[in-house]
Amino acid sequence: MRLALSNIWLMPHRPLFLAAGLWAVVAIAWWQWGDAAGFAPPSLDTPVAWHAHEMIFGFGGAALAGYLLTTLSGWTGRAATGGWLLGAIVACWIAQRFALALAAVLPALLVLLPGLAYFGLVSGVLARGLHQGRVPGKWGFPLAVAAIGGGDAAFLLASLRGWPGLDSMVLIRGCVLGFALLVSVVGGRMVVGFTDNWLRQTGRPVPPPARKTAAARLGFALLGAALALTLFNQTRASGLALVAAGGVQAWRLAGWRSRHVGGNPLLWMLHGGFGWLALGLVLLGAARLFPDHLSEADLVHGLTMGAMAGMILAVAARAAARRAGGMLLARRGLSAACLLLWAGTCLRLAVAPWPELRPWLTDGASLCWLAGWALFLRCFLPAALGPVQRPVFSGSRA
């Protein structure tokens, strides 16, 4: 197989998934050990604000755009975004990383502009593609990207200028739930669809996964309510909605034949990521209901590390997969990468019951995270430099 550096620009997910993976390593290493190494991580209005922003809007924003822009070509049947436009999108993403790193010395407008350009371009490309391809039913995705871009801008305004009425931590909590909504919708469809197809391909005498449309709608409504209540700073009410939403997501997952996919790493990564969504929602809700006993700052990592990052890794692993007989096969090392990510999530969550062990647990969680994403990059790079395999995220239909 011929590998060429220029091949990285053949599909949007290639540079953007690589950017997400690289930033997952660099940003966490900088955050966790930068002070000790003499390179203090940037700071916004609070020490944790830069870390939260870069994981949600930097790491998460790159992965989201990579997935949606690649999937767009499948929805429309048109060529994928490439050339100068893809280069401009990636350049805007990189520019925002530098702008945030230099936020203490740059004018606020220069810090804001790269993010506005990045999310605006991604949303605009999605909207244009859907319009030209006359694709109904997908318009929620460019709107969601635009909303995340708006949340990014509002967060930075609150952090840099302290605008009245804008609380940066409330906004970041809301954006975490925005990503949870996307995992619920997009991840739920992927788990069911890919599991059903694999069970058919392998001829297993197992009933197809239950789609539970009513449960999906109820889970979406509860998560949407939790998001709105969060933005209005209704802590206890949002906690109740989160616990209920987590229960509904667990109910959905219970019908998806998870115990039958143990032999397929690409599937159990997806099932596990969705399981973290259910657990993470319950943990976050419990932290809001019992703030004197549970730390939201610690337990939110069930959603951010377990569900969001876990689902990003599971989806990106499919783009890196080998193909044989119309089926996707996980590259060696991706299973270990996922397990390392889950182990890091468990260690980070363990800070809540054992705060006296925080330095050891956060160091351990960070090392697991770095090792997991480094393994992912090693596995993904050959696929990103090789010829394009279509469809990118799935095998042939059974």
Q: Which among 133, 151, 166 is the end of a domain? A: 166
Same domain, 268 and 366: yes
Q: What does the pLDDT read at residue 266?
A: 97
Q: Are residues 137 and 180 in the same domain?
A: no
Structure tokens, 31:
């955050």
Domain of residue 221, residue span: 169-397
Calpha distance 204→194 (Å, rounded): 14
Which positions ≥6 away from 322 have C-beta within 8 Å?
Answer: 328, 329, 330, 331
CB 241 within 8 A of CB 222: yes
Q: Which pLDDT does position 162 carry in this prediction?
A: 73
Is 27 in a helix, a strand, or coil?
Answer: helix
Q: Do 261 and 197 form a contact (C-beta atoms < 8 A)?
A: no
Amino acid present at 146: A
Record the pTM. Answer: 0.96
Are residue 154 and residue 179 in the same domain, yes or no? no
Alpha helices (H) in 134-167, listed in sequence order? 140-161
Q: Are 395 and 18 in contact (CB under 8 A)?
A: no
In this structure, the answer to whether residues 233 and 130 fall within a common structural domain is no
Residue 115 sits in the same domain as residue 232:
no
The parts of the chain modelled with pLDDT lower than 70 are 1-3, 398
Same domain, residue pair 250 and 132: no
Question: Exposed, middle or buried: residue 253 (CB in 10 Å: 0-12, 13-18, 19+)?
Answer: buried
Last residue of a domain, one of 166, 189, 206: 166
State the total domains in the chain. 2
Asked if residue 177 and residue 124 are part of one domain, the reply reads no
Task: Please give the backbone phi and psi of residue 164, each rounded to the nearest 5 degrees, phi first.
Answer: -65, 140
Please name the residue that has the structure tokens 């050990």. Answer: 33
252 and 384 together in one domain:
yes
Written as six digits, the tokens of 149 are 């871009």
* pLDDT, tens digit (0-9, with 9 covering 90-100), for 270-293: 999 999 999 999 999 999 999 999
Token pair of 222 as six digits: 């509860």
Same domain, 90 and 224: no
Whether 162 and 183 share a structural domain: no
Cα–Cα dist 304/28, whole Å: 13
Predicted local confidence at residue 165, as pLDDT: 72
Q: Are residues 128 and 231 in the same domain?
A: no
DSSP secondary structure, 62-117, as one string: HHHHHHHHHHHHHHH-SPPS-HHHHHHHHHHHHHHHHHHHTTTTS-HHHHHHHHHH
Residue 139 per-residue DSSP state: T
The pLDDT, as a whole number, for residue 2 is 56
Residues 371 and 297 reside in one and the same domain: yes
Dist CA 78 CA 135 (whole Å): 12
- The secondary structure of residue 327, as a DSSP letter, is E
DSSP string, 261-326: -TT-HHHHHHHHHHHHHHHHHHHHHHHHH-TTTS-HHHHTHIIIIIIIIHHHHHHHHHHT-EEETT
Decide which of 150, 166, 182 is a domain's last residue: 166
